[in-house]
Chains A and B, each alone.
Chain A
Amino acid sequence: NAGVTQTPKFQVLKTGQSMTLQCAQDMNHNSMYWYRQDPGMGLRLIYYSASEGTTDKGEVPNGYNVSRLNKREFSLRLESAAPSQTSVYFCASSWEPTAYGYTFGSGTRLTVV
């Protein structure tokens, strides 16, 4: 089925370890986004990519880096994981979010111990 695919679905890291969350979409969307979801806080934007070759910081970028590898793929990297980064991470994509809204992946549940 067409959509946004995220890997892995679950991950446990030790403090200080690094990892990359992968995201791919097959809808030919221009823009892609990484959000984190924490209880009672809704979704907060980490980074976004308005088009292939561009990336920009969102509300909570500290401790993260991103790569827009091509039009389909947008990865999120944690260089040195901290317990405060325990969260559920969602990737989303859109033709243009104002008019069309987002298509979300199913999420990555990350625990940092």
Chain B
Amino acid sequence: AQSVTQLGSHVSVSEGALVLLRCNYSSSVPPYLFWYVQYPNQGLQLLLKYTTGATLVKGINGFEAEFKKSETSFHLTKPSAHMSDAAEYFCAVSDQAGGYQKVTFGTGTKLQVIP
């Protein structure tokens, strides 16, 4: 069975500092991995995805994530935090299970950006 673990339900960074949000997954088959962002009172928006190919994936708003199979990780990073990055971030894993493409979401990490 697939699962996703996001380390840290809350992360605080200073404006301009590195953002690192951690995600580890388990999957019995090669996974597809996603990061979504949720701004207050809004739905989730796809930030980036890994399907196959290059393990460093670039997304919107300057975010990127690296798929590391040996570490079963897909951490999200951004070199310099901006106030507008304050939101909740969800990691998700998808694989084929009994003919249905099952997507499992992590419990989310709230990012606070301190001026």
Seen from chain A, the residues whose Cβ lies within 8 Å of a Cβ on chain B are 4, 40-43, 45, 48, 50, 56, 90, 92, 96-107
Contacts and interface: CB of A to CB of B under 8 A. Distances in A.
B43 A98 contact: no
Contacts of B90: 42-43
B21 to A, nearest CB: 14
Contacts of B36: 101-102, 104
Contacts of B94: 97-98
Contacts of B44: 43, 90, 92, 102, 104
A17 to B, nearest CB: 24
B103 interface: yes
Contact of A56 (B41, B95, B100): B100
Interface in B4-47: 9, 32, 34, 36, 41-46
A97 B46 contact: no
A107 B96 contact: no
Query: Which 7 A-B pairs have CB atoms at the shortest separation, nearest pair first?
Result: A104-B43, A42-B105, A101-B46, A42-B107, A43-B105, A104-B44, A98-B101
Nearest to B44: A104
Interface residues of B, number: 23
Interface of B: 9, 32, 34, 36, 41-46, 49, 51, 90, 94-96, 100-101, 103, 105-108
Instruction: Please classify the interface of chain A as helix (H, G, I), strand (E, B), loop, or mixed, using the class held by over half of its residues.
Output: mixed
Contacts of A90: 43-44
A30 to B, nearest CB: 11
A41 B104 CA distance: 11
A98 B42 contact: no
Contact of A101 (B42, B49, B96): B49
